[in-house]
Structure 1
Amino acid sequence: MKFVIAPDSFKGSLTAKEAAEDIRTGLARVYPDATYELVPMADGGEGTVQSLVDATDGELITETVTGPLGKPVQAAYGMLGDGETAAIEMSAASGIGFVTDETKNPLVTTTYGTGELIIKALDRGAKKIILGIGGSATNDGGAGMAQAIGVSLKDAADQELGFGGGQLGDLLTIDVSGVDPRIKDTEILIASDVTNPLVGETGASAVFGPQKGATPEMVKTLDDNLNHYAAVIKATMGKDLADYPGAGAAGGLGAGLLAFTNATMDRGIEIVIAYTKLKERAQNADYVITGEGGIDFQTQYGKTPYGVALATKSVAPNAPVIVMAGNIGEGVDVLYKKEAIDAIFATPDGAKPLDKAIADTDHDISELAENIARLIKASH
């Protein structure tokens, strides 16, 4: 009997690796001699670095970089087991967690620290970088990131622009002659499910700006500034990014990466599936167990359980895919209709307050896994 165990993290409770180990513990009470493939997963959002490090026997490295408000922060990134691939979450350096309701202000917040993490990863020998760009506090079009890797952005007075999306309206010239020469030889994979363009009604400022503290007046300013920024990029770099799908991700960091690095964009779950070699490890699987903190109709749009189901069904079509979730939300029946996920179980062993459910996650996951194993055994 071969079980492939490929969960995401259970947010606030367990990392993906811890969840996978708990699932194995429960299954092994019934099937002690089974083969277990543990593949910690993520979908490009929070926890992606940890999952990739765990899945490849890599390491976490903590550095001091510039936070979104311009002050030093501690940010971790991962070097994967191959020694040549780095995994970075922009939120580790430039995320919304570094600002409060009182301090969040997309006119001034910067992605400079994310650019610093890129350089630090190159200093550690990275040849490829997987960059998750969710959870940003910024709306600067990736200008701060660009400056950190050596791009010069100057105004009419020949002065370097300051931090924040509020400065971009003053941009006159872009000079890439000072960019770290390693950048052009580095493959950057942007992990993002966001398809919003840089500007306009569905752009970075209009859709995501209010979450970052932008008033309606600020949204207009930021959108106008990003439109100007895109025009200067087009004139200087020959890249038309204003309406490019995904350029608006992370306050326009997508655009900055596409403009100034050799970056390509893909769904986060697809990148993680490739780097964890999930399909190869799922060959000849009898059962696949995945999961995360919550599941609902949105799971079909690039979330881990659905991505795992599609990937494993492609190589082990007869292996049932079982999902474990801390909370089962609305519309999960659509997942059954897509014929990729075969069963969904809630992990809490009864009604309990959220804090109690979080505290009990370890126990509840292993107990549920044991019960699933007993059901499997009874059916054979």
Structure 2
Amino acid sequence: MRVLVASDSYKGSLASTDVIQAIREAASRCGDIDVLGIPIADGGEGTLDAVLSSMKGEKIICEVTDPLGRKISAYYGLINETAMIEMAVSSGLTLLTDEERNPLVATSYGLGEMIRHALDQSKIKEIIIGIGGSATNDGGIGMAQALGLRALNAQNKEVPFGGAHLGEIVKLDARNMHPRLQQVSIRVMCDVSNPLCGANGATAIYGPQKGASPDMVQLLEQNLHHLAERIRMDMGTTVLDIPGGGAAGGVGAALVAFCNANLQSGIDVILDLFSFEEKIEDVDLIITGEGNTDAQTAFGKAVIGVARRAQPFRKNVVCLSGAIGKDLEPLYQYGLDCFFSICPGPVRLEESMSNAHSYLVDTAENILRLYIKGRE
């Protein structure tokens, strides 16, 4: 019997790789079961390490610029001819103290340096970028400048780093962008649909957590509007209303405008990377899950992504999560067969999180034993 585990993390208690290991432990109690694992991540911090640990990719070390212009050592992954880059490694919020958070000056330049480093390697044919966890609200201009874009002010000089200066741009000159941008496919893991501007845009939704005061939010919003208009005029690309364009403070829109990138669902990118359809051909059971499954799961969560991709193959899909909410009936249409919580009964949140591993092993064992008995 073969089981594929493609579960999201249980936030605060188990990483996706921990979920895979726990179900392997459960399977070892049940006889001859081969467990395959796909670590699901959303493109934010930890995505790269989760994928590399499962695919045995190579870490490529490079020196880059952090959000405040300091030099740091970072890395990206190399898996065959694909480079996998995690923005949080170079331009992430976790690289700053609470006092250092300031989207007026924070730059995405380091992300561009990693992309450039990958483009300089002739063997790389594809780049996958996870843009979660960023500290920036610079519209991705820093990233593009590292790749050769000139963002010029009225004095014909490059604008300084940070979202505060986007309103000063009078010309975007992309003539010296890295030539391999026309040859290498770039896919972006983007699990938010926020546009660049507006009430649901990059600044309004994510600016405060990056250190933006109400006055900063107003300035940054104006500057992103200005940038979108400059991109339209100088690049011939309309980015204002692109779903996901507001991801990472506008990096999503910049990757589309300057790098010909495709913004895609993070779960679909991960499943493609692991050749999901090939893996499930001879799999008997698929186990997916997350920290909490409820009605919101239908809106692009990993659980739905896994079930939707498995549905045409008529595979049995079980959702095994930390907690199960109400109104799950609509989720069955996506190919999910049943839902289970790992909790053995009413328990406090702290208790369930601290015992998540043992709860998961025990519940997974019962599910596997039931499935085996059903096959008999």
Answer whether TM exceeds 0.5 for this pair. Answer: yes
Count, aligned residues? 374
Contact 1:112/1:144 (8 A) holds in 2: yes
Contact 2:4/2:287 (8 A) holds in 1: yes
Secondary structure of the residue aligned to 1:97 is helix
Distance 1:4 1:332, change over 3 A: farther
Matches within 5 A, 1:88-107: 88-107=85-104
CA distance in 2, matches of 1:359, 1:74: 34
Contact 1:52/1:87 (8 A) holds in 2: no
Contact 1:25/1:366 (8 A) holds in 2: yes
Distance 1:67 1:364, change over 3 A: same
Identity percentage over the alignment? 42
Query: Could you say which residue in structure 1 is the equivalent of 2:319?
Result: 323
Query: Could you say which residue in structure 1 is the equivalent of 2:285?
Result: 287
Higher mean alpha-carbon deviation, 224-233 vs 335-344, is at 335-344
Query: Could you say which residue in structure 2 is the equivalent of 1:276?
Result: 274
Contact 1:9/1:47 (8 A) holds in 2: no
Cα offset for 1:361? 3.6
Distance 1:47 1:351, change over 3 A: farther
Contact 1:24/1:369 (8 A) holds in 2: no
Cα offset for 1:251? 0.7
Distance 1:183 1:163, change over 3 A: same
CA distance in 2, matches of 1:298, 1:93: 31
Letter in 1 for 2:84: A
TM-score, length of structure 2 as denominator length: 0.90
Matches within 5 A, 1:130-149: 130-149=128-147
Letter in 2 for 1:4: L
CA distance in 2, matches of 1:350, 1:112: 49
Contact 2:246/2:253 (8 A) holds in 1: yes
2:148 paired with 1:150 = yes
Secondary structure of the residue aligned to 1:182 is helix
Secondary structure of the residue aligned to 1:225 is helix
2:27 paired with 1:27 = yes
Cα offset for 1:89? 1.9
Contact 1:186/1:262 (8 A) holds in 2: no
- Calculate the aligned-residue CA RMSD, in Å: 2.3
Distance 1:296 1:66, change over 3 A: farther
- Tell me the alpha carbon deviations over residues 23-49 of structure 1, each in whole angstroms, 9 at most, x when there is no partner: 1221231132x3433222334344432
TM-score, length of structure 1 as denominator length: 0.90
Letter in 2 for 1:95: G
Letter in 2 for 1:119: R
Cα offset for 1:97? 1.6
CA distance in 2, matches of 1:26, 1:49: 26
Residue 194 (structure 2) aligned to one of 193, 196, 207: 196
Unaligned runs of 5+ residues in structure 2 are none
Matches within 5 A, 1:306-345: 306-315=304-313, 317=314, 319-328=315-324, 330-331=325-326, 333-334=328-329, 336-338=331-333, 340-345=335-340
Cα offset for 1:332? 5.3
Query: Could you say which residue in structure 2 is the equivalent of 1:364?
Result: 359
Secondary structure of the residue aligned to 1:156 is coil
Contact 1:130/1:190 (8 A) holds in 2: yes
Cα offset for 1:320? 2.5
CA distance in 1, matches of 2:41, 2:97: 27
Secondary structure of the residue aligned to 1:102 is helix
CA distance in 1, matches of 2:112, 2:118: 10
Matches within 5 A, 1:108-187: 108-124=105-121, 125-187=123-185
Query: Could you say which residue in structure 1 is the equivalent of 2:342?
Result: 347
Query: Could you say which residue in structure 1 is the equivalent of 2:6?
Result: 6
- Tell me the alpha carbon deviations over residues 63-98 of structure 1, each in whole angstroms, 9 at most, x when there is no partner: 332111222344332212xx2111112122212222
Contact 1:45/1:268 (8 A) holds in 2: no
Contact 1:9/1:15 (8 A) holds in 2: yes
CA distance in 1, matches of 2:113, 2:200: 29
Contact 1:153/1:174 (8 A) holds in 2: yes
Contact 1:15/1:47 (8 A) holds in 2: no
- Tell me the alpha carbon deviations over residues 337-365 of structure 1, each in whole angstroms, 9 at most, x when there is no partner: 43522222233456666566445444333
Contact 2:308/2:334 (8 A) holds in 1: no
Contact 1:323/1:343 (8 A) holds in 2: yes
Letter in 2 for 1:133: I
Letter in 1 for 2:204: A
- Tell me the alpha carbon deviations over residues 160-189 of structure 1, each in whole angstroms, 9 at most, x when there is no partner: 111111011111222223222222212110
CA distance in 2, matches of 1:236, 1:321: 48
